[in-house]
A and B are shown apart, each in its own frame.
Chain A
Amino acid sequence: MAKLRGTGIAAVNYPTGMNLGGDPSQALIHATTSGSFVVSLSSSDLGQGLRTVIGQIAAETLGVAADEIVIDTADTDTGPHCMGTFASRATHRVGNAVRAAALEARAALLDVAAEELGACAEEIVTDGHGNLLVAGDPRRCIPIAEMASKAQFTYGRTIAGRGSYMKPKSPVDPETGAMDPDSTEAHACTVAEVEVDTETGQVAVLSIRSAYEVGRQVNPALVRGQIVGGAFMGMAHALYETTEPYYPSVEHKPKDFSEYVLPGPAELPEIDAVVLEIPSSTGPYGVKGVGEMTANSPIPAIVNAIYHACGVRVDDLPVTPEKILRGLEAR
């Protein structure tokens, strides 16, 4: 009877928007009379921070501060179409749609600014601080908010843009199975350390350390939030969670949170990660996706660490104390 330590490693190659394409996301943007911009979408923010990153992408493209952007989303009755927030696709797909919409709105803004400032549209630039100015002659300038308002009341124009992003549907070659399923791929590698108690079969995860390559990070704090939360969820899947333990028989499956087995803060291992940024060629500003993948590599890393610690190879999840003890007995 002993407490045995082991280390395991696993990697993931995560396809962003993995569904063979044909799944559009759309966005509409318009300037209000106060000069803020409303982004209309149907895409849900489940808490990952989609609204935040979409606001940042729109702000960057329009040349205004992020707090000038209002995100109006998730009413699928009235919003432009979105296939959904899943497969780590939203920052990439919705981000592309929003960038396209913002570029169109920006063009409308530059047009009217050209008229206002007596220049041609090609000469108008934004300064990153909410102003429009004539390149090379910064004294001829006007705040974007003022211009957006003036466009409506003086020039009778709308400042608006439409955007859609769709990866065309990719057919599967019936002979070879070849296909082009995703839009870009993010990568991660995780090293987990565990301690296995050979008397009780209990596994304690000591640390989960990862390296991520996720394209350009729009919001590093939110990326870290996904990684840390995902590592914990991966540990939960590896060792605790299942909706159907069928133990000892099907009537005993968990019905609610009081019966569903979950790790809590007491089981929290040390979680750390480094992030590399290799911009994708298809995402807005080079983004990929970092959602679902964060719960992927921790699972096989933990299972491998258990094998390293005690020589028991479990191939169905979760790895319960019972499975470890049976494995130890069989050796």
Chain B
Amino acid sequence: MASVIVNFELCGRDVEVLVQPMATLQSVLRNQLGHTATKEGCRQGGCGSCTVLVDGEPMLSCLLPVEDVAGRRVTTLEGITPIDGLDPIQEAFLESNGFQCGYCTPGMVMVTRALLDHDPQPGREAIVEAISGNLCRCTGYQPIIDAIEKAADRLSGSGEQTGER
């Protein structure tokens, strides 16, 4: 099949890519655009390590043909990481030891960002619900939940902007 050109916004920048039809957003991000924070745990929708935000909503980039994001706003972990230092969510993960191997972390941080954008003070149940599509084989989830609670406290307490950059 003939390649197609797809335009979308990636972390605040307009990008144009030439892709095979049905190429996944995940493969385009990692292999064509160098956004390798988006991980490849299973490439079939089972692990959540590839989660990115599309128009602010968490989506599994391994199941998303890149044509589907044409004209839309895609945010990866690279997009929420400041040039200097870390995003408050990342800080909270670091302080709570919310990762070991780190493979699930980019996906966990992205679902946390979407959760806190919708619900700045989520209860424990909402947190569990938000990360229930994201597997972690190292931490036992407790440190991740702690990290999200800490990030929520900090972001809502200090009244900081949580919108996407």
Which chain A residues have a beta carbon within 8 Å of chain B's beta carbons? 46-49, 221-222, 224-225, 228-233, 256-258, 262, 264-266, 268, 271
Contact = CB atoms under 8 A, between A and B. Distances in A.
A258 B132 contact: no
Given A47-B102, A48-B100, A258-B44, A228 B139 contact: yes
8 contacts: A225-B139, A228-B140, A229-B139, A232-B140, A257-B47, A257-B135, A258-B42, A258-B45
Interface string B83-96: 00000000000000
A212 to B, nearest CB: 15
Contact of B144 (A221, A257, A265): A265
When A and B form their complex, which 7 residue pairs have the shortest distance between CB atoms, in order from nearest?
Answer: A47-B101, A232-B140, A257-B46, A47-B100, A258-B46, A265-B141, A229-B140
B156 interface: no
Interface in B88-117: 97, 99-103
Residue among A221, A222, A229, A266 having the largest count of chain B Cβ atoms under 10 Å: A229
A61 to B, nearest CB: 25
Given A47-B100, A229-B138, 4 more contacts: A232-B142, A264-B128, A266-B129, A271-B142
A230 B129 CA distance: 22
A29 B132 CA distance: 44
Nearest to B142: A228
Contacts of B69: none
B145 interface: yes
A228 B143 contact: yes
Which has the most chain B C-beta neighbours within 10 Å: A231, A232, A256, A265? A265
A265 B128 CA distance: 6
Contacts of A224: 97
Contacts, number: 68
A48 B47 CA distance: 20
A264 B131 CA distance: 9
B101 A266 contact: no
A268 B45 CA distance: 22
Contacts of B140: 228-233, 268, 271
B41 interface: yes
A265 B145 contact: yes
A268 B145 contact: yes
A264 B142 CA distance: 11
Contacts of A221: 97
Contacts of A222: 97
Given A46-B101, A257-B46, A266 B132 contact: yes
Contacts of B46: 256-258
Nearest to B46: A257
A265 B132 contact: yes
Contacts of B127: 265
Nearest to B103: A47
Given A257-B44, A258-B46, A225 B100 contact: yes
A232 B144 CA distance: 13
Contacts of B145: 265, 268
Contacts of A46: 101
A271 B139 CA distance: 12
Contacts of A257: 41-42, 44, 46-47, 135
